[in-house]
Copies of this chain bind each other. A is one copy, B any other.
Amino acid sequence: MGKIVYKPIGIIHSDYKQKEGVPIQGALSKNSRGKVEVFPEYQPGLKDIEGFSHIILLYHFHLSEAYSLLTKTFLDDEEHGIFACRAPRRPNPIGISVVKLKKIVGNTLYITEADIIDGTPLLDIKPYVSKFDVRTNTKDGWLTERLKDNEKHRSDNRFS
């Protein structure tokens, strides 16, 4: 199978200027603000997005230079498979975040619950749809215990 080539459709702006200190997940950091700048040529694709309270951002982990199939995360000191965690150093370093859409001005989306480093290239935006995306009674594997005191968690420099 050949290579797949994508092109950024925008840039994500946030207060997180470096890897350290980024919330490990936006859902755990309700007040983190950010802006999604969609390049003007894609602005028509935003039609009707204002009706959604939450959106899914897909983006490129541009600071991730290599990958590890086994990795330690910010949540414990065990090694887990990269596909069993959300860490950035993945074979294809695509990140996804569910964020809250506060308002839209032109080609800029104002969001909260953002856990994304400033300057991150945006790949796609999808509406978060409760009937498609909510699963209840899930089993959350090795994360179950680790997330009990999750509000405290911020990234450190271990992926630098």
Contact = CB atoms under 8 A, between A and B. Distances in A.
13 contacts: A1-B121, A4-B7, A4-B121, A9-B92, A45-B82, A48-B142, A52-B84, A53-B137, A83-B127, A96-B96, A98-B132, A98-B135, A127-B143
Contacts of A58: 58, 92, 94, 96
Interface in A96-133: 96, 98, 121, 123-133
Interface residues of A, number: 70
Interface string A73-105: 000000111111110001110101010000000
Give the number of copies in the complex: 2
Given A7-B4, A47-B70, A140 B136 contact: no
